[in-house]
């Protein structure tokens, strides 16, 4: 995903001299293509995220389209007030790129586990929140971020996420992608969990003869409500899949939309929980601590069958 980001950004920067890249002293052996091609539009703010984000806002207020890059929680939590006041309030044209979110840095410990970021950043007005599911979604979403005037938060992995989509896609903000049809249940995945969710859908069909609809929902804000409503009405059960705390992520946004729409359905959230705090391990190990997606889906199917 990270390579797809840098490659896309270089293409955009070649087209438009307003494109700048700012980093918080991270991105070694990743950002170099941009730095070599556009040295005058690259800034390393050092290990100082508050100043980095404020400076990005100042550049944006001077007509620049500013992509701010860092890893995990550093471009969000450490400079949250700058995002809120300098970027979001002023609707500044700043794109925050957090690489290696979720459990990419699983072995590095809790400081590097970005699992509350979507809720925190998504709380701010004017802020779009996206979470690409593979390198192809990354390309499209970075292009959409470039075309959209205003702040965007992009959370992405950097663990060599597999390509899921078969070819280039055009993915405007607020739109989801139907990856496969299904009638028994809908799996809605966001971000880095996409490929695992594809595997879970296969497993549900092969082992349990369950027909699972599969939706990739990279935009958390704004949400593709129509796709959610259709899934609820046509399959009667939804599982949301995210590498984020389930108390405040995709699942909660989906539930909120359904309640506002007056639609009752079974909804089970698959993701990180507070008992994972302090745990350490590879991304796959950390994901295993969330349980399996297939098991979560089977719980949802049971609940659907027991529904009166």
Q: Which residues of the shown chain bind another protein in the complex (CB under 8 A)?
A: 40-41, 43, 45-46, 48, 50-64, 81-82, 85-86, 89-90
Distance from C-alpha of 59 to C-alpha of 78, rounded to nearest angstrom? 20
Residue (60 or 301) nearer to another protein, CB: 60
CB of 61 to another protein, least distance (A): 6
The encoded tokens of residue 158 equal: 């950097």
Q: What DSSP assignment string belongs to 160-193?
A: -PPP-SSS-----TT--EEEE--SSEEEEE-GGG
State in angstroms the smallest separation of the CB of 153 from another protein.
19
Least Å distance, CB 49 to another protein, is 8
Q: How many CB atoms lie within 10 A of CB 124?
A: 18
**Nearer CB in complex with another protein: 132/151:** 151
Contact (CB, 8 A) for 164 and 171 = no
We find the least distance from the C-beta atom of residue 81 to another protein, in angstroms, to be 6
Encoded tokens for 144: 């959409």
Q: Which is nearer to another protein, 82 or 131 (CB)?
A: 82
Compare residues 17 and 233 and give the one whose CB is closer to another protein: 17
Question: CB–CB of 154/97 below 8 Å?
Answer: yes
Instruction: Give me the least distance between CB of 227 and another protein, in Å please.
Output: 35
Our CB check for another protein shows the closer of 31 and 189 to be: 31
CA distances in angstroms from 221 to 123, 126, 181, listed in the order given = 10, 10, 24
Q: What does DSSP say about strands 128-130 and 152-156: parallel, antiparallel, or unpaired? A: parallel
Asked if 286 contacts 277 with a C-beta cutoff of 8 angstroms, the reply is no
d(CA 219, CA 155): 10
Percent composition of the chain: helix, strand, coil (DSSP 3-state, to 5): 45, 20, 35
> CB of 68: closest distance to another protein in angstroms?
11
Of 59 and 136, nearer to another protein (C-beta) is 59
SS3 for 16? coil
Nearer to another protein, 24 or 271 (CB): 24
CB 95 to another protein: min, Å: 14
The secondary element (H helix, E strand) that includes residue 303 is helix 293-306
């Amino acid at each position: 995903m990270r390579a797809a980001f840098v490659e896309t950004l270089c293409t955009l920067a070649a087209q438009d001299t307003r494109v700048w890249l700012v980093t918080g002293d991270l991105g070694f052996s990743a950002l170099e293509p941009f730095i070599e091609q556009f040295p005058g539009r690259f800034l390393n703010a050092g290990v100082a995220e508050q100043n980095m984000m404020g400076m990005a806002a100042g550049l944006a207020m001077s007509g620049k389209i500013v992509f701010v890059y860092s890893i995990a929680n550093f471009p969000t939590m450490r400079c949250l007030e700058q995002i809120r006041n300098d970027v979001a309030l002023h609707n500044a044209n700043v794109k925050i790129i957090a690489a290696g979110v979720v459990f990419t840095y699983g072995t590095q410990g809790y400081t590097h586990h970005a699992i509350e970021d979507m809720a925190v950043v998504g709380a701010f007005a004017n802020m779009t929140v996206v979470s690409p599911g593979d390198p192809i979604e990354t390309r499209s979403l970075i292009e959409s971020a470039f075309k959209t005037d205003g702040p965007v938060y992009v959370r992405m992995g950097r663990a060599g996420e597999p390509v899921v989509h078969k070819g280039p896609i055009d993915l405007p903000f607020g739109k989801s992608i139907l990856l496969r049809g299904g009638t028994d249940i809908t799996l809605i995945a966001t971000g880095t969990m996409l490929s695992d969710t594809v595997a879970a859908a296969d497993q549900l069909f092969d082992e349990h003869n369950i027909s699972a609809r599969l939706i990739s929902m990279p935009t958390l804000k704004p949400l593709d409500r129509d796709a959610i409503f259709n899934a609820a009405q046509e399959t009667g059960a939804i599982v949301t899949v995210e590498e984020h705390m389930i108390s405040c992520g995709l699942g909660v946004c989906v539930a909120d939309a359904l309640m506002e729409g007056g639609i009752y359905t079974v909804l089970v959230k698959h993701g990180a929980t507070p008992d994972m705090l302090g745990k350490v391990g590879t991304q796959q190990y950390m994901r295993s601590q969330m349980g399996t997606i297939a098991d979560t889906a089977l719980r949802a199917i049971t609940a659907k069958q027991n529904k009166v």
